[in-house]
Structure formats: structure tokens, C-alpha cells
Amino acid sequence: MEYFFSDRVKNLKPSAIREILKSAGTPGMISLSVGNPAPEAFPAKEIAEISAHVFQERPIDALQYNVTEGYLPLRNRLSSYLKERHGAGREFDDLLITSGAQQVMDLATKALCNPGDVVICEAPSFIGSLNSFRSYQVRLRGVEMESDGIHLEKLEQALREEPRAKFLYTIPNFQNPSGITMSAEKRREVYRLAKQYGVLILEDNPYGDLRFTGEEIPPIKALDEDGLVIYAGSFSKVISPGMRVGYTLAPQPIIQKMVVCKQGEDVHTNIWSQLICEEFLKNYNFEAHLDRIRGIYRKKAELLLQLAQQHLAPDISWEPIEGGLFLWCSLPEKIDMMDFCRRAMEKNVCVVPGNAFLVDESQPCQSFRINYSAPTDEQLAQGIEQLGQLAKELLY
Ligand SMILES: Cc1ncc(COP(=O)(O)O)c(C=O)c1O
């Protein structure tokens, strides 16, 4: 049988990089490639208690259909949390519970973009979102990053040159993959430019609560007096990605369209998971939990930086980190990045080649991404030592 796929998806392919990463799960491989939270960061005992309680007290609520917008007590709790903690949310906004933040990217594009429209994104950016945008036949326009966030002049140039730009996709905190955080000044400028050019902002913030050093910076959504910002949040990195609970705070007309789109996708987000998240926020000390996991990541990041200093410097450089799960490393020009990543695999260490995160994977790239949350301390030590040795073998 010959299968004829839709124009929307027929050109989507698993990338060459995916092929390299396929063996990430083979026994003995030290995987520094996935974006998984640290296993010890999961509040497993609390989730077990809450699950038992939910099934004793209200099993039907957990097992029955629910509304597409999401479980109302959870929506209310999140709206208050975003307002009180981040100053985000105005009268014109509404909140929708989604199946992970990933679904926000899908719903936003489905609701707003026609084929041929343009989505402006940071370069590099999160591959899962880029693929979601691509599946709606939009054109991606990447804008270079600096160490304090997106390059403003290049962003303005892109806004000037792309009249079909529908939104700017940005990950302002501990960006995946670069780890970069956008400064407060840049957030204000990005907002001003978006307003001037009449382009929406899709602000993706799954790592915002994972700051382990430095001053917290309010999200762009906190500046939103004009209904320009669609904010995406998630419990994936702070409770559990397996539960698939995310949310979006956005102007009501956009939420209403997203709700209709979501009905056709999954009817509603897993209600059982929503009840557990709500009870966690209500009956447990969420701030204390965040402090605990920030402590885990701070310790891991300190170890990683110490190892990097010992084994990677001065040949390999990296972006400073203040939170999140990733370290973005850059190789000297004399080393071919893809060759380095392949040889690292042969030494049983898996990292992600940086061009996977570009709009055009064929563009030159000297960087690769390391995840430090999922490996054990021993794996991290072994993996970083191997990477350092490999760089030396290739250079000297
Ligand atoms: C920047 C970014 N956005 C969104 C997601 C998707 O998260 P979720 O599990 O909430 O769908 C991830 C996951 O790694 C991510 O890194």
C-alpha cells in the first residue's frame, strides 16, 4: 500500500541527529542528552499519598470526563500563583490547562497561523517547539542569541523584514538548549518591539522556578498591558513530566480558540493528574518543595562546573548558568562538532549536537548541549572526563 501524507506533514522527517541519539538508551551509555528531571527531585511519596487520598475520597472525579478548560480549582490556584508570584495576568486574560507546555505550542500555532506565516524564534531554540511550529507549514526565522538573550537589533530587522510574522517564540529563563536568561532590560525591549510591530509573544517558561542562583526576573507576561503575550507554564520540571500537566495564560479570545482546538485533540488534560497537582499545591508546601529541588540542581550544577573547569577548559567553553537543566558548550574551530558528538558516542557518552536546535540543521554550529540533571554524579564525572579527553585527542 502506498500512503499519501498531508502537505502539512509529508516533509517532516526524523532528523539525522535523532539517529545519532537513538543509541542514547543502550546499556553502558552515559546519557548527557535527555532533558529529564533528576529522579531524586520527584515528590514520589507525596504523590503516592495524594493519589491514595483522591481515590478514597473522590474516585469518580478522577475517573470521569471533565471540561476542556481544565479542573477549575487548579485553574484558580494557578491564576493566583502567577499573579502573586510573578505579577502575571490581567482582566483580559484567562487560563487553560494543557497536556504539558508542549501542547501550548501546538494550540497557539493551530489557532493563529496559516501556512506561509512566519514564527520568529531564538537561534538556537527548543526542538520540540520548532517541530510543532513546522507541522503547521509556518516558516521559521531564527534570531541569534547573546549572553543576555535575543539579539535586539537582529530581532528588529526580522520584525521589519517579516510582515507575515505571527509571533515571537522565546524561552527567557535558562533557555533550552543554551541555558541563557534574558535580562530584564531585554524583556522590556522585546515587549516594546512586539507592540510596535503588532506581533504576539509566545513566552515558554518551564524552567523559571529552577533558579538556583542570582536575582529572579519577572516574566515578559508581567509587562503585558496590551494582550500581546501567550504564556506557557508546566509542572513537568517541578513535579513530574509523566503527569503531562501544563498551562497557558493568554488573552481570552486566544484561549477560547485554543479550547476549541484542544477539544479536537484530547478533549481535556488527564483529570487524575490535574487533581493530584491541585492537591499538591493546596495541601503541601510547594515553595519548600521548590527549594528542595533547587538545592539538588544547585549541587549538580556546582559539580558540573567544577568538572568542566577541570576537564573541558580551556579548549571547550560554556555559557554561564543560573538555573535550569542544561550547559551549552562550544568547541574550538579546529574540531568538527558532529564528528566530536559521534566520537563521544563511541566512547559511550551521549550529548546533543547543537545544530539540532537550529532552524536549519545544515548551518555551521560549534556547540553541543549537556544535561546535568538526569545523570548520577558518577556518570557526570565520567562523562565530562571523557569529553575533555576526546577534545584533547582531536586537538593535540
Ligand atoms: C523549552 C521547553 N518548552 C516546552 C517543553 C515541553 O514540556 P512539557 O513536558 O511541559 O510538555 C520543554 C521540555 O523539555 C522545554 O524544554
**Cell numbers describing residue 207:** 524552567
pLDDT at 15: 61
Residue 318 main-chain phi, psi, to 5 deg? -150, 160
Alpha helices (H) in the chain, listed in sequence order: 7-10, 16-21, 44-57, 59-63, 72-86, 102-112, 127-134, 152-161, 184-197, 252-266, 271-283, 286-311, 337-346, 377-395
* Centre of ligand 1 from the C-alpha of residue 187, in Å: 21
Q: How many CB atoms within 10 Å of residue 147?
A: 10
**Cell numbers describing residue 146:** 547573546
pLDDT at 304: 97
pLDDT at 34: 86
* Centre of ligand 1 from the C-alpha of residue 248, in Å: 13
Q: How far is the first Cα of the chain from the last one, in angstroms, to the nearest whole number?
A: 54
pLDDT at 191: 98
Report pTM.
Answer: 0.96
pLDDT at 236: 97
pLDDT at 10: 85
For ligand 1, which residues put their CB under 6 angstroms from it? 35, 100-102, 126, 128-129, 171, 176, 204, 206, 234, 236, 241, 246
* pLDDT tens per residue, range 340-385: 999 999 999 999 999 999 999 889 999 999 999 999 999 999 999 9
- Closest by Cα among 33, 32, 44, 34 to 293: 44
* Centre of ligand 1 from the C-alpha of residue 124, in Å: 15
CA atoms of 177 and 320, how far apart (whole Å)? 13
Q: Which of 126, 171, 207, 357 to mutate to test the pocket of ligand 1 (most atoms within 8 A of CB)?
A: 126
- Asked if 100 contacts 175 with a C-beta cutoff of 8 angstroms, the reply is no
* Centre of ligand 1 from the C-alpha of residue 240, in Å: 12
pLDDT at 22: 74
In the DSSP assignment, the letter for residue 191 is H
pLDDT at 17: 65
CA atoms of 162 and 168, how far apart (whole Å)? 11
* pLDDT tens per residue, range 118-163: 999 999 999 999 999 999 999 999 999 999 999 999 999 999 999 9
Q: How many helices (H) and strands (E) does the chain have?
A: 14, 14
pLDDT at 151: 98
Ligand 1: atom nearest CA of 105 is: 4
pLDDT at 11: 81
Ligand 1: atom nearest CA of 35 is: 14
Which ranges of the chain have pLDDT less than 50? none
What's the angle, vertex CA 122, arms to CA 120 and CA 123, rounded to 5? Answer: 115
